């Protein structure tokens, strides 16, 4: 069992990294081979819309044609059994680095055929680890949509979120007096360890072949109309 964690956070010692490391520890406890990748260490760009991945008979059909700092990683991810994605939420989205990576990973796997067939050789289990300084309700519907997009594009997916997170060691040094610094520190000390425990369990579950992911489609919020 090969498990790769894709870290879309810039901070290597931050909340998102802590969740992903806990998840990888959980996967390793289930016997998986694990790897952690920091996207901010790599040089690449998002999808350029060349559509070479859709060209019938083309040498890049079903694969991203761009060659840069994530080309080998994309191929490694396609061969993995489990992919774990981590990101803080910036302006109602994952970080730009993770979004660009997802464009390159997701788009080649779908066709515009009537049966919407996939090009990758197998489904890949996915786990999502979100962090935000906002309450859970702020992004709950978005978390569900992201997870269901992953389910459709890659394979069975589950998610978790650490919310109302600690952002600064000393809030008094920053323009951030809208937060109750003491409450945030207390939550980090009392709640965040539980978040890491949940991440460990999710990583272990996803790396356990017998674990069955049952998505709750009834919980999916309506998609916005074009």
The CATH number of 2-212 is: 3.40.50.360
Distance between alpha carbon 31 and the CA centroid of its chain, in Å?
21
Q: What is the dihedral of CA 172, 176, 179, 181, to 10 degrees?
A: -20
Alpha-carbon span 127 to 225, nearest angstrom: 27
- Tell me, what's the pLDDT at 110? 95
pTM for the whole thing? 0.94
Domain residue spans in the chain? 2-212
Neighbours of 168 (CB within 10 A): 13
- Predicted confidence (pLDDT) per residue in 65-110, tens digit: 999 999 999 999 999 999 999 999 999 999 999 999 999 999 999 9
Q: Which helix (H) or strand (E) holds 213?
A: none
| Size (the chain), residues | 226
Q: How far apart are the first and last CA of the chain?
A: 40
Mean pLDDT for 199-206 is 98
Across the chain, which distance is largest between two alpha carbons, in Å?
60
Beta bridge partners, 159, equal 128
Rg (CA), the chain: 18
Q: How confident is the model at residue 224 (pLDDT cuts 50, 70, 90)?
A: low
Question: What is the residue whose two structure tokens read 């981590």?
Answer: 86
Mean pLDDT for 131-149 is 95
Alpha-carbon span 66 to 5, nearest angstrom: 22
């Amino acid at each position: 069992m090969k498990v790769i964690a894709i870290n879309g956070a810039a901070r290597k010692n931050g909340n998102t990294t802590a969740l992903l490391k806990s998840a990888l520890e959980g996967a390793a406890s289930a016997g998986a081979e694990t790897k952690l990748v920091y996207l901010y260490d790599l040089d690449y760009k998002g999808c350029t819309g060349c559509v070479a991945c859709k060209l019938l008979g083309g040498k890049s059909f079903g694969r991203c044609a761009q060659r840069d700092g994530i080309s080998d990683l994309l191929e490694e991810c396609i061969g993995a059994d489990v992919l774990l994605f981590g990101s803080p939420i910036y302006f109602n989205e994952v970080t730009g680095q993770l979004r660009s990576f997802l464009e390159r990973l997701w788009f080649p796997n779908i066709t515009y055929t009537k049966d919407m067939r996939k090009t990758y050789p197998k489904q890949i289990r996915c786990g999502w680890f979100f962090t935000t300084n906002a309450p859970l309700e702020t992004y709950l519907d978005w978390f569900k949509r992201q997870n269901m997009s992953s389910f459709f594009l890659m394979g069975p997916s589950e998610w978790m979120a650490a919310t109302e997170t600690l952002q600064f060691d000393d809030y008094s040094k920053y323009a951030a007096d809208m937060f109750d610094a003491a409450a945030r520190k207390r939550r980090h000390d009392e709640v965040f360890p539980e978040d890491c425990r949940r991440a460990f369990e999710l990583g272990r579950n996803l790396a356990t072949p017998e674990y069955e992911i049952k998505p709750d489609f009834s919980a999916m919020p309506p998609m916005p109309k074009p």
